A and B are shown apart, each in its own frame.
Chain A
Amino acid sequence: MTDSKYFTTTKKGEIFELKAELNSDKKEKKKEAVKKVIASMTVGKDVSALFPDVVNCMQTDNLELKKLVYLYLMNYAKSQPDMAIMAVNTFVKDCEDLNPLIRALAVRTMGCIRVDKITEYLCEPLRKCLKDEDPYVRKTAAVCVAKLHDINAQLVEDQGFLDTLKDLISDSNPMVVANAVAALSEIAESHPNSNLLDLNPQTINKLLTALNECTEWGQIFILDCLASYLPRDDRESQSICERVTPRLSHANSAVVLSAVKVLMKFMEMLPKDLDYYGTLLKKLAPPLVTLLSAEPELQYVALRNINLIVQKRPEILKHEMKVFFVKYNDPIYVKLEKLDIMIRLASQANIAQVLAELKEYATEVDVDFVRKAVRAIGRCAIKVEQSAERCVSTLLDLIQTKVNYVVQEAIVVIKDIFRKYPNKYESVIATLCENLDSLDEPEARAAMIWIVGEYAERIDNADELLESFLEGFHDESTQVQLQLLTAIVKLFLKKPTETQELVQQVLSLATQDSDNPDLRDRGYIYWRLLSTDPVAAKEVVLAEKPLISEETDLIEPTLLEELICHIGTLASVYHKPPSAFVEGSRGVQHKRLPPRAGSPDVGQSGPSEAPPAVIPSQGDLLGDLLNLDLAPPTATVPSVQPSMQMGAMDLLGGGLDSLVCSSPAASHFATNVISGLGDLFDLGGGVGMPTGSYVAPKTVWLLAMKAKGLEISGTFARRGGIIQMDLSLTNKAMSVMTDFAIQFNRNSFGLAPAGPLQVLTPLSPNQTIDVSLPLSTSGPVMKMEPLNNLQVAVKNNIDVFYFSCQYPLSLLFVEDGKMDRQVFLATWKDIPNDNEAQFQIKDIHLNSDVASNKLQGSNIFTIAKRTVEGQDMLYQSVKLTNGIWVLAEMRIQTGNPNYTLSIKCRAPEVCPFVYQCYELVLKN
């Protein structure tokens, strides 16, 4: 007997026939009829007219028939609520059946019938089933609570089903536990603040026990639920991780991914120096690689997730480049994802292999894939400087193939390479110009026009080339039009004599013949600039361009953190937060990683943490911004800030940060303000120091140009006996910087960081962060030239950068540097006169007492003062951190602004630096 025949009845009057058959006395005939009804239902025919007849078949001993009728009921009950009531009695009776399978079937089906009147009758049977002796019934009832909650949440709460459900978490049967967890998680999702799950170490322990025993699906429910728990401390976090790691060997990829989610989340709380942290990192790589041998659809899900994991923790997979090499037979969606990850993992170590692969891919058939491969080559060039040359030559080879889309894509990426490495590869421009005619895509045309405009001075026939584009100006896309306008203005500024006509032509095309407001406005701005102030025009149009980012398509850090919490789910596949594709209240809660280990205060772990309430209403804020912007952020702003106000500014600063992160459009506007705020804040801090030791203003130590967008300026200070290096880190690149660390080279006085560089939040583009790094003098010693030279290495997620700076020797003047008079005399005599050095300090209009006080602030102590023939003689001592004593005699003649300083020291090479300190202190 085959069932396919039920699909073939398409006669008219079918419903009548079916009705007759349904009411037949013969059981077999009845069953046949119901099957036909279900088949019709499946293909989308409306068979609701048969409702009473089908429901009449419900009272039967035949389980198969019963299931079919139930299926029908679930589909049509809602459209016939009054008649659906007829079924209630049977359900209630079935819930009492001796056979647990029938009891479960009844309660399962009843939950699917979304008719209020029936739901009321469901409560009693459900209550019984939740406490049924048979686990099969209990596990079905647990899910039924979630069904009922979906229909009538109030009813579920009133009836106390939620508490019963919570009790089931302690059930002896693992599957009951798993289903209860699933149901509770779902209900909790629609009540974000209900604390329904109420996870505590005891329940967590129960869940972890059930994890070892339940089905693969149950394990997924439990792991997903565990991921929403926030461990109390790193120890609890570690112990949960230890019990979850065995799941990484499960054959079911979803179990593995959910376990990865829990580990990625809880790892955040582990201190990085912990041995276990390293072990865990190592354990994560192999299962992720294994996911790539699953079926293609799962590979796709895995790859989308790996893309997130690689951005969050690049160290996990950095040695696994090869597994992401594309296979010839991979489906296209797998290929594209693999390519994305390859670029992210590309580094100096593996670039040769990656390039060879990419070159191979660029000859494949699929257009999208080939384009992406070409683009990837360009990205490698920008990311790994050493490979740039090889990348460029590969791109040129590809251009030689003359395959249209390959050429266009190559030109787009070469434009970026030009920007990244100015004055290096322009020799290829000629080759590019040969392909001008074949470009038909706006992006490629715009890129080519940009290149011609940017390098107009090197291209002899730049004007001809640009003119050729101008012919069809109105048929071009806006992107091309804008680019063409700018390029011609550039050309004009570079070669004003020959191109006057051209520039007039383009300006009139843009301003008079175009209806595009953007184009028109840009045209007018250029026009006015050129006519009023050509110098300013030059500054604007030919301005230095911001650095190009190495990483493209990076996910914004707050979103990335949220997505990490959703590993394995649709959100991680779409790379969008659930609120972007889920309707209603479900999933709108934003999940967040636990605070990072070692961060001092939970409340300040991420930029997103700044409570929105601190931001004043939009209008006020805008006012503030404008005001602040007007006050020039120079060093002459109010000298002392009341501390209250400083606090307020700090909060505002946090608020602004989050503002910047959330809306890129505002970022440019807010940059100045933020850096202004930084300055103000700093100054307040400096002035407030009680000792009054002099702190030089910050100077730029590391240029953004040389450090891939990271600018560092800084100064040194000695505050209350602690040496500090005050740094301002500014991100001038397009991508976020994280993972900062600092290290010093050996130096003359053994300066070394006393702690790690505390940059806890990622540094967003255009953001500035101020940090104070305490220094110790217990580091390794090596004499430097000059003596006070300090070589520093700063690392971030992008690279390691080196710079050197010089610190004032006063940094090393210790507080107990006051020498006993007698000892002073003896020492003075003891030091040979060859070691004495004399200096002049000019233009000081201070009397000896003020000078002495000022010097004392920097730990230069006056031991004795003598007045001889109208001259004040100050005898002073200084002790360096390494125990070297420096003795000095300062002669001050009243009326003479020039002081004479004699310095004696056993190590005469320090004398000039001590003199520098005198001068600095006295003059400020």
Chain B
Amino acid sequence: MIGGLFIYNHKGEVLISRVYRDDIGRNAVDAFRVNVIHARQQVRSPVTNIARTSFFHVKRSNIWLAAVTKQNVNAAMVFEFLYKMCDVMTAYFGKISEENIKNNFVLIYELLDEILDFGYPQNSETGALKTFITQQGIKGQHQTKEEQSQITSQVTGQIGWRREGIKYRRNELFLDVLESVNLLMSPQGQVLSAHVSGRVVMKSYLSGMPECKFGMNDKIVIDKQGKGGTTDEPGKSELGGSGKQSIAIDDCTFHQCVRLSKFDSERSISFIPPDGEYELMRYRTTKDIILPFRVIPLVREVGRTKLEVKVVIKSNFKPSLLAQKIEVRIPTPLNTSGVQVICMKGKAKYKASENAIVWKIKRMAGMKESQISAEIELLPTNDKKKWARPPISMKFQVPFAPSGLKVRYLKVFESKLNYSDHDVIKWVRYIGRSGIYETRC
């Protein structure tokens, strides 16, 4: 198991050092600094073995988090734990920075004592932790016996992510379907790979211990219902978008509140949600993706000192919808000496420091097209190495889900308190963003 956990600043000075196992000595702290942080070469692996000691590290801005062990630990678990540790710290004091860590070092030690025991990760849900790890350490002294046992049963219990007795005057929930659409297209317009990775983020402000059931236009569920003839959801196409009735989900993963065995057997998503914001599920689709934009590149090398670039973008969704924050990044060779750009819409600039022409458009409706053309002057070089021609990448945001996913329902049942599904105010929002959206040129 994890033998120790260290946090360093960018210089390699140690900010937090917590050793859990006897086989990890003080020299481990220095070994990592010397061999990884101060290493001459770029880091080649997130796992490093130095003198039979293994170091796992992740970086958050300037801060290095390293877990150390001498045993054959579960490597995936160690990384998951390090990410979780970052989440917990962020939830407690915001951004992970040297200053914040120094300001909260006592708290961090307290947290590390609680969520890792002898190197074994324990309950690390912030919701639960915040009930008893506070910066006012005295609180424990004034708790009643009931309060204390409530804390411990929550920390160790089956529903470790939610506490009892939550009350809201207005029961409300927000569902955000956030998708990032990824594309790799050949210069000829052939889709080399495309997938959508999506997340359903829920903000719940519900009283008591509500039992929720979430439904979407999952092909498997819809097909099953279609056969049984029990289409009890009349508003199938109420949200419009595309005409697609159902989507094929390649794979999905759920927050630990979702009953996985139930999903496996019935494909129904039921859970008792944590309070506040959390990620209910993640999913991935590869079939019938709506690609919001198509990029058509045309690069021509005119002699050795000049390049002509023309890029056309076409929006491919309903004309009534608006895409926002569109940015097209056209890479330029390292030996570029000057660039002339002409674009019909938006603003385009050559950024020498980034070796790219950045073309920004604030808004663009569906079924439109726009184009940019540029002349790039090159310095003559005798560098034999050819310019690698990195792909043209694109960023945007659209108000629909490119995978075609639709939320069909989210039902809330709370038997003990007297509010019903109808009393809950529900909000659903779809946001599609560009992930890695690249066209080779």
Q: Is the pair A44, B73 in contact by a Cβ cutoff of 8 Å?
A: no
Give the chain B neighbours of A173 by CB distance below 8 A. 156-157
- A-binding segment of B136-144, B228-236, B302-310: B136-144
- A-binding segment of B42-50, B238-246, B367-375, B410-418: B42-50
In the bound complex, CA of A167 to CA of B409 (Å): 44
Give the chain A neighbours of B354 by CB distance below 8 A. none
Q: Is the pair B436, A574 in contact by a Cβ cutoff of 8 Å?
A: no
Q: What string of 1s and 0s marks CB contacts (under 8 Å) between B11-51 and chain A?
A: 00111110111110010010000000000001011110100
Give the chain B neighbours of A104 by CB distance below 8 A. 152
Q: Is the pair A179, B260 in contact by a Cβ cutoff of 8 Å?
A: no
Which residues of B (53-107) have their CB < 8 Å from a CB of A? 54, 56-58, 69-77, 79-83, 99, 102-106
Which residues of B (138-180) have their CB < 8 Å from a CB of A? 138-141, 143, 145, 148-149, 151-153, 155-158, 160
In the bound complex, CA of A131 to CA of B1 (Å): 25
Q: Is the pair B284, A365 in contact by a Cβ cutoff of 8 Å?
A: no
- A-binding segment of B206-214, B249-257, B316-324: B249-257
Q: Mind listing 19 A-B residue pairs with CB under 8 Å?
A: A43-B14, A65-B137, A100-B152, A137-B152, A147-B118, A173-B157, A179-B122, A215-B125, A249-B260, A258-B76, A286-B251, A296-B46, A297-B46, A323-B195, A325-B184, A333-B44, A568-B77, A583-B23, A586-B71
Is A174 on the interface with B (CB-CB < 8 A)? yes
In the bound complex, CA of A64 to CA of B145 (Å): 20
Give the chain A neighbours of B423 by CB distance below 8 A. none
Is A35 on the interface with B (CB-CB < 8 A)? yes
Q: Is the pair B120, A221 in contact by a Cβ cutoff of 8 Å?
A: yes
B257 to chain A, nearest CB (A): 10
Question: Chain A: interface secondary structure?
Answer: helix
- B-binding segment of A264-272, A298-306, A544-552, A690-698: A298-306
Is A408 on the interface with B (CB-CB < 8 A)? no
Is B294 on the interface with A (CB-CB < 8 A)? no
Q: What string of 1s and 0s marks CB contacts (under 8 Å) between A399-410 and chain B?
A: 001110000000
**Central interface residue in A44, A328, A572, by most chain B CB within 10 Å:** A328
Q: Which of B17, B75, B193, B282 contacts A301 (CB 8 A)?
A: B75
Q: Is the pair B193, A215 in contact by a Cβ cutoff of 8 Å?
A: no
Which residues of A (54-82) have their CB < 8 Å from a CB of B? 61-65, 67-68, 70-71, 75
Q: Is the pair B260, A247 in contact by a Cβ cutoff of 8 Å?
A: yes
In the bound complex, CA of A38 to CA of B105 (Å): 9
Which residues of A (132-166) have their CB < 8 Å from a CB of B? 134-137, 139-140, 143-144, 146-147, 150
Q: Is the pair A254, B80 in contact by a Cβ cutoff of 8 Å?
A: yes
* CB-based nearest A residue for B105: A3
A101-B17 contact, Cβ under 8 Å, with A44-B29, A297-B46, A582-B72? no
Give the chain A neighbours of B279 by CB distance below 8 A. 251
Is B227 on the interface with A (CB-CB < 8 A)? no
* CB-based nearest A residue for B132: A101
Q: Is the pair A252, B80 in contact by a Cβ cutoff of 8 Å?
A: yes
* CB-based nearest A residue for B155: A136
Give the chain B neighbours of A39 by CB distance below 8 A. 105
**Central interface residue in A99, A217, A573, by most chain B CB within 10 Å:** A217
Q: Is the pair B56, A297 in contact by a Cβ cutoff of 8 Å?
A: yes
A300-B74 contact, Cβ under 8 Å, with A42-B16, A67-B110, A290-B251? no
In the bound complex, CA of A224 to CA of B78 (Å): 14
In the bound complex, CA of A175 to CA of B256 (Å): 14
* CB-based nearest A residue for B122: A217
Is A226 on the interface with B (CB-CB < 8 A)? no
Is A378 on the interface with B (CB-CB < 8 A)? no
- A-binding segment of B335-343, B356-364, B386-394: B386-394
Give the chain A neighbours of B264 by CB distance below 8 A. 245-246, 249
The 7 closest A-B pairs by CB, nearest first: A64-B137, A286-B251, A136-B152, A4-B102, A254-B76, A246-B264, A254-B77
In the bound complex, CA of A65 to CA of B109 (Å): 12
Q: Which of B23, B132, B155, B438 contacts A328 (CB 8 A)?
A: B438
Is A114 on the interface with B (CB-CB < 8 A)? yes
* CB-based nearest B residue for A150: B22
Q: Is the pair A253, B152 in contact by a Cβ cutoff of 8 Å?
A: no
* CB-based nearest A residue for B115: A217
Q: Is the pair B282, A251 in contact by a Cβ cutoff of 8 Å?
A: yes
Give the chain B neighbours of A35 by CB distance below 8 A. 106
Q: Is the pair B251, A289 in contact by a Cβ cutoff of 8 Å?
A: yes
**Central interface residue in B29, B54, B158, B251, by most chain A CB within 10 Å:** B251
In the bound complex, CA of A403 to CA of B139 (Å): 67
Is B117 on the interface with A (CB-CB < 8 A)? yes
Give the chain B neighbours of A68 by CB distance below 8 A. 106, 109
Q: Is the pair B152, A64 in contact by a Cβ cutoff of 8 Å?
A: no
**Central interface residue in B21, B42, B253, by most chain A CB within 10 Å:** B253
Q: Is the pair B388, A365 in contact by a Cβ cutoff of 8 Å?
A: yes
Q: Is the pair B158, A327 in contact by a Cβ cutoff of 8 Å?
A: no
Q: Is the pair A329, B73 in contact by a Cβ cutoff of 8 Å?
A: no
Is B270 on the interface with A (CB-CB < 8 A)? no
Given contacts A216-B80, A587-B72, 12 further A-B contacts (CB under 8 A): A70-B113, A101-B140, A108-B117, A175-B123, A249-B253, A290-B250, A290-B251, A290-B252, A293-B284, A297-B79, A570-B47, A586-B71
Give the chain B neighbours of A360 by CB distance below 8 A. 440
Is A495 on the interface with B (CB-CB < 8 A)? no
Q: Which of B75, B81, B104, B141 contacts A569 (CB 8 A)?
A: B75
Kindly count the residue-residue contacts between A and B in the assembled complex, taking CB atoms under 8 Å apart.
296
Q: What string of 1s and 0s marks CB contacts (under 8 Å) between A323-364 and chain B?
A: 101011100110000000000000000000100110010011
Q: Which of A67, A70, A297 contacts B137 (CB 8 A)?
A: A67
Is A520 on the interface with B (CB-CB < 8 A)? no
Is A7 on the interface with B (CB-CB < 8 A)? yes
Is A176 on the interface with B (CB-CB < 8 A)? yes
Number of interface residues of A (CB under 8 A): 115
Q: Which of B71, B74, B148 contacts A587 (CB 8 A)?
A: B71
Q: Is the pair B138, A175 in contact by a Cβ cutoff of 8 Å?
A: no
Q: Which of A99, A146, A243, A325 contacts B192 (CB 8 A)?
A: A325
Give the chain A neighbours of B17 by CB distance below 8 A. 42, 44
In the bound complex, CA of A1 to CA of B208 (Å): 36
A61-B256 contact, Cβ under 8 Å, with A67-B110, A143-B117, A143-B118? no
Give the chain A neighbours of B126 by CB distance below 8 A. none
Is B353 on the interface with A (CB-CB < 8 A)? no
In the bound complex, CA of A135 to CA of B26 (Å): 34
Q: Is the pair B388, A364 in contact by a Cβ cutoff of 8 Å?
A: yes
Is B422 on the interface with A (CB-CB < 8 A)? no
A62-B72 contact, Cβ under 8 Å, with A143-B118, A251-B256, A327-B436? no
Is B121 on the interface with A (CB-CB < 8 A)? yes
Q: Which of A140, A249, A254, A323 contacts B252 (CB 8 A)?
A: A249
Q: Which of A3, A62, A139 contacts B102 (CB 8 A)?
A: A3
**Central interface residue in A3, A182, A365, A583, by most chain B CB within 10 Å:** A3
In the bound complex, CA of A139 to CA of B160 (Å): 14
Is A839 on the interface with B (CB-CB < 8 A)? no
Is B332 on the interface with A (CB-CB < 8 A)? no
In the bound complex, CA of A742 to CA of B26 (Å): 61
Is B197 on the interface with A (CB-CB < 8 A)? yes
Give the chain A neighbours of B143 by CB distance below 8 A. 99
Q: Which of B75, B110, B141 contacts A61 (CB 8 A)?
A: B141
Q: Is the pair B140, A102 in contact by a Cβ cutoff of 8 Å?
A: yes
A300-B47 contact, Cβ under 8 Å, with A108-B117, A136-B155? yes
Is A669 on the interface with B (CB-CB < 8 A)? no
Q: Is the pair B140, A63 in contact by a Cβ cutoff of 8 Å?
A: yes
A571-B72 contact, Cβ under 8 Å, with A100-B148, A146-B118? yes
Q: Is the pair B75, A7 in contact by a Cβ cutoff of 8 Å?
A: no
In the bound complex, CA of A357 to CA of B193 (Å): 11
Which residues of A (292-326) have their CB < 8 Å from a CB of B? 293, 295-298, 300-302, 322-323, 325
In the bound complex, CA of A618 to CA of B138 (Å): 70
* CB-based nearest A residue for B331: A328
Q: Is the pair A2, B251 in contact by a Cβ cutoff of 8 Å?
A: no
Is A425 on the interface with B (CB-CB < 8 A)? no
In the bound complex, CA of A353 to CA of B125 (Å): 44
